Amino acid sequence: MKNRLVLLMLLSLASPSALLVAEGYAHGDEGLDDFSDIEMDDGHGDHGDEGHQHEKEGHGHEDDGHEEEGHDAHGDDGGHGHGETASDVELSAAQQRIAGVETMIVKRQSLGDAITVPGEAMLNAYRTTRVTPRTPAQVMKRHARLGDYVKKGQGLVTLSSVEMAEAQGVLMETNVELRRVKKLGRKVVSEKRFVAAQIAYQQAYARVSAYGMTKQQIESLIKTGDATRATGEFHLLSFQDGTIISDDFVVGELIQPGYVLMEISDESVLWVEARLTPEDAARIELGSPARIQAGKHWLSGKVAQARHTLDQTTRTLAVHIEVVNRHDKLHPGQFVTAVIEGNKKRQGLVVPVVAVLRSPDGDWQVFVEVAAGRFEPKEIEVLDTVGDQMLIQGIAEGVTIVAKGAFFVQSEMAKGGFDPHNH
């Protein structure tokens, strides 16, 4: 019995037909105990033929079943479930905020033809002051450093001067004399002496003021009434709010009149100097809008000044573009690109360059907000580009588009239309 079971197991691994043969022997001659009598080489017995028939039928059903399943899985067309590219995308307020998506209402504007020239950022001379002594002096103390932001009237340096000490001493003497004659009164003091005391005091006051002492400093010195306080020390103050651009001196240094101790400038509004050919200069006017490209940043500006004489070497005309320097993006000495709008204007829909992208088929497109947080691509035609602005057509005035973050919106839309079969 044990031999029969082993035979069945071995033959079942060989083929279905051999299994049928083995079953026949198992139920037939029970006295069989020699495996050499079993014919296994041809498998053409009755059971073998029947086994082949069943095998063919089984495979037939399996193929049919596979075709049926494939048809159901992939649809009537037998494809791979091709999905159409998504036609819109919906973003929550949180997604828009995180991705920096900003929208704008498209309006008709005028846009001049572009005049693109290199330029250099420089200090606005009308917002810059220089701190200089008016008399030979020695630097005693520094109260502010390079890069510091200072306020108008703030102390910058303490100086000491021999000339200032002499002037302060004279001021204290004349002040004492003026007080004396005033106290004696007109009945005792002659008119000549009274006038002379007034004139001497005024001259001494004007002298220390001219040397650099402020009215407050002078009055503070006079109130002490102490001639020993005339040491010649005085403070230089800031004339304006701004940043210290330079402070080329050291404590203890002897400074001559007119030497620039510090330069202070308000960098919130800078100039960009651009040089134009006479032909291009004729196409602009004072107040013409301009866009300044500094690295990856664009800044707005306008033509504030234009020279009336050409440079003798380059034969170009220098113009100054006044630029609002938000977030300190621009620095004096930096090379930039200036795009100035000419006086030949075109009317149309003006949008930022970053709002316009290429669609998958290569056309220009913007993303229109059709509902709150829902955006659809809309093909447009680009008519002109001036700096970081574009003149377009193809959408209606008053629609809301993505002005910033359009690339993120396009990426989210591509995800929605992704085909896993890569078809």
Q: Encode pLDDT of 199-224 as tens digits.
A: 999 999 999 999 999 998 999 999 88
Q: Encode pLDDT of 343-383 as tens digits.
A: 887 888 999 999 999 988 889 999 999 999 999 999 999 98
Dihedral-angle region of residue 149 (phi above 0 means left; psi in -120 to 50 means alpha; beta otherwise): beta
Report the pLDDT value the prediction gives residue 422, as an integer from 0 to 100. 37
175 neighbors 201 (Cβ within 8 angstroms): yes
330 neighbors 292 (Cβ within 8 angstroms): yes
Residue-range domain boundaries for the chain: 2-73, 89-110+347-416, 114-124+266-345, 128-265
Both structure tokens of 255: 């400074």
**pLDDT over 90, % of the chain:** 55
Report the pLDDT value the prediction gives residue 419, as an integer from 0 to 100. 40
Confidence of residue 248 (pLDDT cuts 50, 70, 90): very high
pLDDT at 26 over 50: no
Give every CB contact of residue 270 below 8 A, 6+ residues apart in sequence. Answer: 121, 122, 123, 124, 322, 323, 325, 330, 332
Report the pLDDT value the prediction gives residue 52, as an integer from 0 to 100. 42
CATH of domain 128-265: 2.40.50.100
Confidence of residue 4 (pLDDT cuts 50, 70, 90): low
Give ∠ CA 374-380-382 in degrees, rounded to 5: 135
Rounded to whole angstroms, the Cα distance separating 275 from 309 reads 12
Of 331, 289, 9, nearest in space to 147 by CA: 331
Q: 412 or 336: whose pLDDT is higher? A: 336
Report the pLDDT value the prediction gives residue 140, as an integer from 0 to 100. 96
**pLDDT over 70, % of the chain:** 78
Q: 277 or 228: whose pLDDT is higher? A: 277
Of 344, 340, 403, nearest in space to 375 by CA: 403
Report the pLDDT value the prediction gives residue 256, as an integer from 0 to 100. 95
Report the pLDDT value the prediction gives residue 70, as an integer from 0 to 100. 40
Residue 401, classified by CB atoms within 10 Å of its CB into exposed (0-12), middle (13-18) or buried (19+), is buried
Give every CB contact of residue 99 below 8 A, 6+ residues apart in sequence. Answer: 91, 405, 408
Give the C-alpha distances (Å, rounded to integers) separating 349 from 114, 225, 323, 370, 393. 16, 73, 24, 18, 6
Q: What is the pTM of this model?
A: 0.60
CATH of domain 89-110+347-416: 2.40.420.20
The DSSP secondary-structure symbol of 127 reads G
- The residue-averaged pLDDT of 138-161 equals 96
User: Which residue has 């200032």 as its token pair?
Assistant: 164
Both structure tokens of 185: 């009164």
Report the pLDDT value the prediction gives residue 62, as an integer from 0 to 100. 42
pLDDT at 31 over 70: no
pLDDT at 33 over 60: no
Give every CB contact of residue 104 below 8 A, 6+ residues apart in sequence. Answer: 351, 352, 355, 400, 401, 403
- The residue-averaged pLDDT of 314-341 equals 93
Of 321, 296, 324, nearest in space to 388 by CA: 296
Q: How many CB atoms lie within 10 A of CB 264?
A: 26
356 neighbors 378 (Cβ within 8 angstroms): no
CATH of domain 114-124+266-345: 2.40.30.170
Rounded to whole angstroms, the Cα distance separating 108 from 383 reads 13
Report the pLDDT value the prediction gives residue 319, as an integer from 0 to 100. 96
Average model confidence (pLDDT) for the chain? 81
Q: Encode pLDDT of 74-101 as tens digits.
A: 334 433 334 444 578 889 999 999 999 9
Q: Encode pLDDT of 107-142 as tens digits.
A: 998 887 889 999 999 999 999 999 999 999 999 999
